[in-house]
Amino acid sequence: MNDTSAHLNDLNRQLDSAWEDLFKGSLFLSTIEQGPVTKSLYAMYLIETYHYTKHNAKNQALVGSILPIEDTQYLKFCFQHAAEETGHELMAYHDLKSVLKMSEIDLPGPLPSTEVLVAYLYWISSHGNPLQRLGYSFWAESCYKYIGRLLKKVQTDLSLDPHHMTFFISHAHIDVEHAREVEQMLIRGCKKPGDWQDVATVMLTTLRLTGAMMDEVHAEHQKFMNNTSNRYPFLQEAS
């Protein structure tokens, strides 16, 4: 096995282990697993998905705009990938309206943990190793392996049709190709052991911050179920 395969395997091992920890500790994930899932929990998750997704194309392009990248092909990847991710938050918004059967919703702003995830993504996209943002894409584009059965569970519990889940279903398709490209970029770009390390750090940290976001969604959902939340007036009838 050559060095590159060894590094990729190592990345995958670390990712497996991080997801395992996440599944052990996350109240959000275990609520979905054990169910039944409520519409309001799914809706709250979609709202945060809308918020961070809105920034993904922007911070992806920032890598190319700001950081010093020698490799023209990687630079092009940054802008192309940004173009492809543009507007995906609208799918999350569509699914939200669809599951709540509403034609327009005045969304609350992002939760603090979502803001922290977004902040970190901008930071690592504009400082440090230009390759490190690939660590985020590495897990984000291949997460269906880990969360696929949970999405199935949500779909069953809420009797959702595929057109209520465009965000997750179309991403599952798009992302197969993206995941391949991300791997290629890692193979082209990572020349030094430090590169793989930087990619791994961003992979683990963004996954952890996404977990924290999920847990804040869970906590908000608890408040909502206990009638101590006023963040989601439009969810009253949908729960």
**DSSP string computed for 93-146:** HHHHHHHHT-S--------HHHHHHHHHHHHHHHSS-TTTTHHHHHHHTTTHHH
- Could you tell me if 52 and 212 are in contact, meaning their C-beta atoms sit under 8 angstroms apart? no
Window 89 to 108, contacts with its own copies (CB under 8 A): 90
- The answer to the question of residue 229 lying near its own copies (CB under 8 A) is no
Window 38 to 57, contacts with its own copies (CB under 8 A): 57
**DSSP string computed for 22-63:** HHHH-HHHHHHHHSPPPHHHHHHHHHHHHHHHHHHHHHHHHH
Q: H or E segment at 225?
A: helix 193-225
In whole angstroms, give the CA distance from residue 157 to residue 237: 18
Please, what is the angle between helix 166-189 and helix 72-85, to 10°?
A: 170
Of 35, 107, 115, 229, the one binding its own copies (CB under 8 A) is 115
- The answer to the question of residue 76 lying near its own copies (CB under 8 A) is yes
Taking the alpha carbons at both ends of the chain, their separation in whole angstroms is: 52
Return the range that interacts with its own copies (CB under 8 A); candidates 17-25, 147-155, 198-206, 226-234.
198-206
- The answer to the question of residue 116 lying near its own copies (CB under 8 A) is yes
Q: Which CB sits closer to its own copies, 137 or 205?
A: 205
Give the number of C-alpha atoms closer than 13 A to the C-alpha of residue 8, restricted to the C-beta side. 16
In whole angstroms, give the CA distance from residue 37 to residue 32: 6
Return the range that interacts with its own copies (CB under 8 A); candidates 23-31, 95-103, 202-210, 225-233.
202-210
Of 79, 175, 181, 223, the one binding its own copies (CB under 8 A) is 79
Return the range that interacts with its own copies (CB under 8 A); candidates 141-149, 151-159, 175-183, 201-209.
201-209
- The answer to the question of residue 80 lying near its own copies (CB under 8 A) is yes
- The answer to the question of residue 62 lying near its own copies (CB under 8 A) is yes
Of 11, 29, 40, 64, the one binding its own copies (CB under 8 A) is 64
Binding mask 6-45 for its own copies (x = CB under 8 A): ----------------------------------------
Residues in touch with its own copies (CB under 8 A): 57-59, 61-62, 64-66, 72, 75-76, 78-80, 82-83, 86-87, 90, 112, 115-116, 118-120, 122-124, 201, 204-205, 208-209
